[in-house]
Structure 1
Amino acid sequence: MTVVEPTGHLPAAEPTAPSTAPALPSTPLERRYRRLLLAYPRQYRATHGDELLDVLLESAEPGRSVPALKEAWGLLVGGVRSRVAHQATGNVWVDGLHLAVTAVAAANLAALLPYAGALPVWTLLSALALLAVLRGRVRAAVPLTLAVGVKAVAIASGEQPFDVTLLPVHPSWLADRALFADSSPFAVAAAYAVVLAGLVVLASVPRPALRARSWWWCAAVLAAAWAGPAWMAEETSYPLGLPRMAVEAAAFGLAAAGCYLARDHRWALACGIYLLAASGQLIIHVEQLTRQHLAYWGVLVVLAGWAAVAPFRHRRHCLD
């Protein structure tokens, strides 16, 4: 038993020799549980991973080497839910606006990327602007976005600011039409104006309030820049690339799922702003729209609407 000294302090514990007992080899079941736990964020695993693993191993049936299907599914869903909840932190409006600005800036870069050979400097500046937005450095992104936006609008208008550019700007293998051949200066200006307006608002937010975004946005830019296989008639005046549609539908679907799991509107706000920025092209070509255009836009509107109403769902149980 420990004797308390008159001073009220416990006596110093004697140093113990480090344990030299060899670690027990992990079983196949433990290794598979550890792989499933990778679905959870790293911080969660560092805090609760060992405890959760012990519970899983103790409750497993004797002799089992593979987790039960229901148990594995529960771990995966719980990990995704935990990751979504981890993202749903900070001010909803600020984070949602930052997401929207990131998405529209990525779309602007994707529009220029197939023409990087003819516009290397402006494509690089657009990429630097997106990089600044991704890292939360919105003040640095403002002049970059403004310069690229002025150049893009000028090309769409047939003007020559800053430098002389051979018009029309022909694409690389990523696209099959000249730059802004099926667009309007007003639609191009609207997309950059949305980004600039969002950056100005975000510039008034303290730097720690903006988080760094995922590098997966760069992969989304590359996918959206590719015109992809032809799936519309050649005479269509406003063709939509299949990869771009897939990227947008996947992003909106993930946003709706995030709103559903976290009961948070930040992803719905981002979807709404992106739809506002991208609607200019459809409005300009309203007389040439086909059923494919309407179906594509309808999918985005439905997903955005689901994202908006999903946070209001009722709880089914206390842990939901």
Structure 2
Amino acid sequence: MKVILASPRGFCAGVNMAIECLDLALKTFGAPVYVYHEIVHNKYVVETFKKKGAIFVDDVQEVPSKSILLFSAHGVSPEIRKAAKERDLTAIDATCPLVTKVHLEAIKFAKLGYTICLIGHEGHDEVIGTMGEAPEAIVLVETESDVDQLEIADPERLAYLTQTTLSVDDATRIINRLKERFPSIKGPPKADICYATQNRQEAVRILGTEAQLVLVLGSQNSSNSQRLKELAQESGTPGYLIDGASDIRPEWFDGVEGVLVTAGASAPEDVVQECLDYLVEKFDAKIETRSIREEEVHFPLPKELRKLVQLN
């Protein structure tokens, strides 16, 4: 069996930054360090940090007063920041800068009196945080049919933004439908879908044509990982989203000679290597790494964390 290992894959700059934040917070302040929601959407990463003393919460009221609270890579609403301040928590903001960019765009458009169509998935942490910046001005749009049902008071003051981890193709279809219905609609100066999401999708689109099966390392609640699996399936290639080698089923490989392995932006390289080891052991797989693009993006740690580390 031939295994094509896609590159780029796995951790993006935003995930790296968030994980570095939590690691450093635990080393500097000791356990427990509280985290609002999962630091990133990956089961392996979350379980690893739980063992180190991180406590993940879905309500700020669960965090004892004066504790350390870290906001996850997906961002939070102003309401959550206010609640943390009221509980006298030391907040560390590990929001991905590309998500922060979308928040700032939402605030700007809302102040100008625009209605904002946010293209994204209902209930996703990132979408909840972005909508919280201007709840009275934002309408969630998930599909092209949602666009058809929109009733906008002033179509001349309409804008769109997107969740950063969407399928590029899906987002493009919805944006095009918005532009058809509302020719005056304004978009962000630069596309909101992050570079890493686009690069990983591009790798599957290009390299998936050479495979009869696609394995995507990532968790079920990871939006960008789900999109990679769906992209493979849309091209007619069986695609599976797995947390690790223990999820693999040998029957998937009956008659399969070529496999593409990739990983979502929140999946660690450890689980990729575990998967490759399984394929080598079970199927005598030959691994070939194929790179379609280089990534050299790096985000610095938040200023407040750097200051806290210096003080300690």
TM-based fold match above 0.5:
no
Which of the pair has the greater relative contact order for Cα pairs under 8 Å at 6+ separation?
2
* Higher percent of residues as helix: 1
* Higher percent of residues as strand: 2
Q: TM-score, normalised by structure 1?
A: 0.23
Larger Rg: 1
